[in-house]
């Protein structure tokens, strides 16, 4: 079993280079942004995370998982006159052409190579910090990107009703996820998500155990619920707890 959800918050900015790719210049960033992170995709393209130029690597690390507002910026900046910019992710060719770009809705984001064995394409975890100033039901949300086949659209899964939905994993005070290594040769790793929420009636809680599996060329899900409470201070459930 490999934990990825909890570990994402501890990651800093990592610039990855290889294959003769030239280091990008901050001059290539859009106005008001800086290139905060770059990762090679494997087909000559590069995934870039853009953040407000006033968000330094240190400020990013300090603010991750606790929320970031304009008052966080250093008083010496001109943040009072310039609204905070939301993070963006973009796919750039080996000659610097922007092939696709998406706004992420929040100021902090990061990307990493997804440690998912068995997929037929390179996959990446894009995590956007959606943490609110108060409460335990918000936090970093992670999607799976497969730039070589779907550009920057997040991968979807088929739910129990057969509907296609974006595959998003939450890391909050009452939710967590892990990559579960496959025990069968040639099989794809799965993703387990546990979450707890108030029951529809009364003061009790219900915990949902959900698992995402790669089956016949697409992500599917199965889940079960049981009475009880789970939070981030609890141990992550054993694999046998998931359907």
pLDDT band, residue 210 (cuts 50/70/90) = very high
> Average pLDDT, stretch 94-108?
93
pLDDT of residue 76: 47
33: number of CA atoms within 13 Å, CB side?
21
Do residues 124 and 47 lie in contact, with contact meaning Cβ atoms separated by under 8 Å? yes
The residue that leads in pLDDT, 4 or 99, is: 99
**pLDDT tens per residue, range 32-72:** 999 999 999 988 899 999 999 999 999 999 999 887 766 66
- Does the pLDDT at position 208 exceed 80? yes
Interatomic CA distance for residues 67 and 134, integer angstroms: 9
**pLDDT tens per residue, range 123-136:** 999 999 999 877 78
Do residues 72 and 66 lie in contact, with contact meaning Cβ atoms separated by under 8 Å? no
Domain boundaries, the chain: 5-241
238 φ, ψ to 5°?
A: -70, 155
């Amino acid at each position: 079993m490999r934990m990825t959800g909890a570990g994402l918050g501890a990651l800093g900015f990592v610039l990855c280079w290889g294959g003769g790719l030239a280091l990008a210049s901050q001059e290539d960033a859009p106005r008001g942004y800086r290139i905060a992170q770059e990762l090679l995709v494997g087909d000559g393209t590069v995934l870039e995370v853009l953040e407000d130029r006033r968000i330094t690597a240190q400020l990013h690390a300090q603010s991750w998982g606790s929320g970031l507002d304009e008052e966080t910026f250093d008083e010496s900046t001109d943040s009072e006159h310039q609204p905070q910019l939301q993070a963006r992710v973009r796919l750039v060719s080996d000659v610097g052409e922007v092939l696709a770009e998406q706004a992420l809705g929040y100021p902090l984001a990061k990307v990493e190579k997804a440690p998912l064995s068995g997929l037929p394409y390179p996959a990446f975890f894009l995590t956007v910090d959606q943490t609110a100033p108060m409460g335990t039901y918000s936090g970093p949300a992670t999607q799976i990107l497969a730039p070589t086949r779907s550009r920057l659209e997040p991968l979807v899964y088929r739910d129990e009703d057969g509907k296609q939905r974006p595959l998003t994993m939450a890391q909050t005070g009452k939710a967590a996820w892990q990559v579960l290594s496959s025990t069968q040769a040639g099989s794809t790793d799965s993703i387990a998500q546990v979450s707890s929420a108030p029951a529809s009636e009364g003061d009790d809680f219900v915990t949902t155990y959900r698992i995402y599996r790669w089956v016949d060329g697409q992500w599917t899900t199965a889940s079960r619920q049981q009475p009880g409470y789970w939070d981030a201070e609890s141990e992550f459930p054993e694999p046998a707890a998931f359907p």
